[in-house]
Amino acid sequence: MALNFELVTPEKLLRSEEVHMVVVPGSEGDFGVLERHAPVMSTIRDGAIQIYATPGATPEMIKVEGGFAEVNDKGLTILAEKVVDED
Amino acid sequence: MASLKELKDRISSVKSTQKITKAKQMVAAAKLRKAQAAAEAARPYAERLETVMSSLASGVSISKDTPKLLAGTGKNQKHLLVVATSDRGLCGAFNANIVKEARIHADKLKAEGKDVEFYLVGKKGKPVINRVYPGSIRHHFDTSEIKNPEYDDAKEIAEDLVARLEKGDFDVAWLFYSKFKSALVQEPQTQQIIPVPVDENADANSKVAVEYEPDEEEILSELLPRNLSIQLFRALLENSASEQGASMTAMDNATRNAGDLIEKLTIIYNRSRQAAITTELVEIISGAEAL
């Protein structure tokens, strides 16, 4: 059970991996995306994406500024305008 | 026949030219790798945005409230040609090719009775366009301070373009740049950027019910300017890779030509030197025989 997660910035493809869950800071509230999530398209506000590699794991945080999240049958794609010191 | 001294000077001058072209070639080769990597790294974003755009745009019906970036101004009279060139020379026909593409397009539009204006990015296109279409340059975006194009630069251009669109400065915008295929091949591109061309065939596979958050219109109004910046950003990156590629090829040729020229001149130099020595010897010998 894994969610295909991609994080892309204008400069490059930052992440492309299988994870358990990603919590996206949507402009109308955070939402968690698991595998087989219904298709959604949402703008995101400045905030941190939380990536859970496995259930119950400590989430990895990536701060992003502005962008889009798209969920389709292939997985979650986040098009972030900017990523603040990714590590 | 040129004197020995003249020949010698010629040779040394060609040699120093060769040094310059060789240095420029090596610099271009090093920069090319970087520029190419940047252009390739930016592709995933542009591609993904494109899919999102087309699935979104095909689902939205065009009404009065549709953003101008998608629907256009409703007119088709004033065309703005955004021509992206480089700031430096020594890159062969790179800039000339882009400008030529833009001129062909401009002439076509003029023949149809449209108004054509130019928006230049980079300074190398300016002299030619100013000469052929005097007074039609609307704005010149200076990129001479920019070493590697960044997203923020593209965004700045995009915001400027949107502001001009809102003011009614133009109805349709075209973008001209050079697409990087390889170090040897760069293709000048013509692309309509405003309004966004909607792919008619795209809606076939976008039947999935997608939830929009906030609503479609708001997403669209945020996505459209971003799409524009991305297109421009991509153009800038492709351009810088193309410039280095063209420069490398041109300088490689120039270096080789200089080498050929040096060889030729050296042969002439040696021959005339030999001839001079022979004449001198003949003179001495015949002088000695006369005694």
Specify whether B205 is catalytic.
Answer: no
Using DSSP's 3-state secondary structure scheme, residue B207 falls into: coil
- Map tokens 């809606």 to a residue: B203
Of B129 and B208, more confident: B129
- When pLDDT is averaged across residues A49-61 and rounded to a whole number, the result is 89
In chain B, beta strands by DSSP E:
78-84, 115-121, 137-141, 172-180, 186-194, 211-213
Q: Are B70 and B106 in contact (CB under 8 A)?
A: no
**Which residues, 6 or more positions from A28, have their beta carbon under 8 angstroms from its beta carbon?**
A42, B213, B214
Q: How much is the pLDDT for B40?
A: 86
Tell me, rounded to whole angstroms, the distance of Cα B45 from its chain centroid.
21
- CB proximity B194 to A under 8 Å: no
Q: What is the pLDDT of residue B287?
A: 94
Q: How confident is the model at residue B109 (pLDDT cuts 50, 70, 90)?
A: very high
Residue B203, Cβ density class (10 Å: 0-12 exposed, 13-18 middle, ≥19 buried): middle
Distance CA B250, CA B90 (A): 7
**Confidence bin at B65 (pLDDT 50/70/90):** low
Segment B188-233, tens digit of pLDDT = 989 888 887 766 554 545 455 677 878 777 888 888 888 888 889 9
8 Å CB contact between B157 and B216: no
pLDDT score of B251: 93
The interface residues of chain A toward chain B in range 11-40, judged by CB-CB distance below 8 A, are: 11-13, 26-28, 38-40
| Mean per-residue pLDDT, A30-58 | 89
Per-residue pLDDT averaged across A16-30, rounded? 91
pLDDT of residue B146: 78
| A6, A12, A39 member nearest B41 (Cβ) | A12
Q: Tell the burial category of B6 from Cβ atoms under 10 Å away from its Cβ (0-12, 13-18, 19+).
A: exposed
Q: With an 8 Å Cβ cutoff, is A74 touching chain B?
A: no
Average pLDDT, chain B: 86
pLDDT, residue B191, reads 86
Residue B45 confidence (pLDDT): 87
- Write down the pLDDT at residue B59: 66
For position B204, what pLDDT does the model report? 47
- The pLDDT of residue A1: 63
- Mean pLDDT calculated for residue range A35-57: 89
What is the percent of chain B with per-residue pLDDT over 70, rounded to a whole number? 92
Tell me the pTM.
0.83
In terms of Cα–Cα distance, which of B175, B121, B178 is closest to B144?
A: B121
Please provide the average confidence, as pLDDT, over all residues in chain A.
Answer: 87
Out of A18-22, B22-26, B133-137, which region has the weakest mean confidence (pLDDT)? B133-137
Q: What local confidence, expressed as pLDDT, does residue B47 receive? A: 82
Q: Check residue A12 and give its pLDDT.
A: 82
What CA–CA distance (Å, rounded) separates B64 from B10? 70
Determine contact: A48 vs chain B, CB below 8 A.
Answer: no
